[in-house]
Amino acid sequence: MSDARTVRTGRLTLQPVTWRDMEDMVRLKADGGAFGQMLGGVCTRQQAEQEMADDIAFWACHKVGIFTIRENGQFVGMTGIHDRPDGRGFGLRFALYPWASGRGIAREAANAALNFTHDAGIRRVIAVAKESNLASRSILKGIGMRECETFTRNGQTMIVYESIRASSRPDVFSKSRRQI
């Protein structure tokens, strides 16, 4: 099934998560190799179900959110935007099964999700990676995100990346000031 929010790249299809994706997402979020480094870590089925409800509601509210990633129709992971629970803003996340890693899928999918989000009017997107997570940091840099701050969580240095895209809409505030 496809809708206007479906994103296609050279080899991937990204679609907004739906309840039909629940079993795929439960398996992915239970896989330590795929989700072990994510905020919150590996999930139980109940946690994955709650996150699915939150992700679907986020799409309804913000017109952006979490996508499934499929390569040749096969589910390989997820990417997209969520509202970070630490209050830092809209955060880009991505996770792939370990068997799908190492072929540029995460970079391709994360880049597509980031562009979709900016195109939807979201000006600033962040991402957070452990200082020791060189693979994720390489992906974030590779899609044009820049380091903007660090913080410590559970004894680990975390690096915050950001992507800021100026709005393509006319600056309403500037227009109204000129008219005054």
Q: What is the CATH number of the domain that holds 30?
A: 3.40.630.30
Is residue 91 classed as helix, strand or coil in its secondary structure? strand
pTM assigned to the model: 0.88
Residue 59 lies in a domain: yes
CA gyration radius, the chain: 17
Integer Cα distance of 180 and 177 in angstroms: 5
Residue 56 lies in a domain: yes
Query: What is the per-residue pLDDT across 123-175, written as a single tens digit (0 to 9) for each?
Result: 999 999 999 999 999 999 999 999 999 999 889 999 999 999 975 544 433 33
Q: How many domains, in total, are found in the chain?
A: 1
